[in-house]
Amino acid sequence: DAKTTQPTSMDCAEGRAANLPCNHSTISGNEYVYWYRQIHSQGPQYIIHGLKNNETNEMASLIITEDRKSSTLILPHATLRDTAVYYCIVRVQSGGSNYKLTFGKGTLLTVNP
Partner 1 sequence: GAVVSQHPSWVICKSGTSVKIECRSLDFQATTMFWYRQFPKQSLMLMATSNEGSKATYEQGVEKDKFLINHASLTLSTLTVTSAHPEDSSFYICSARGAANQPQHFGDGTRLSIL
Does 50 contact partner 1 by CB under 8 A?
Answer: no
| Spatial separation of the C-alpha atoms in residues 59 and 48, rounded to whole Å | 8
Does 3 contact partner 1 by CB under 8 A?
Answer: no
In the complex, the smallest distance separating the C-beta of residue 49 from partner 1, rounded to whole angstroms, is: 6
In the complex, the smallest distance separating the C-beta of residue 109 from partner 1, rounded to whole angstroms, is: 15
Does 53 contact partner 1 by CB under 8 A?
Answer: no
Does 61 contact partner 1 by CB under 8 A?
Answer: no
| Residue 2: CA count within 13 A, CB half-sphere | 24
Judged by CB under 8 A, which of 17, 25, 105, 112 binds partner 1? 105
Judged by CB under 8 A, which of 13, 17, 80, 101 binds partner 1? 101
**Taking CB under 8 A as the rule, which mask of x and - marks residues 9-48 in contact with partner 1?**
-------------------------x-x-x--xxxxxx--
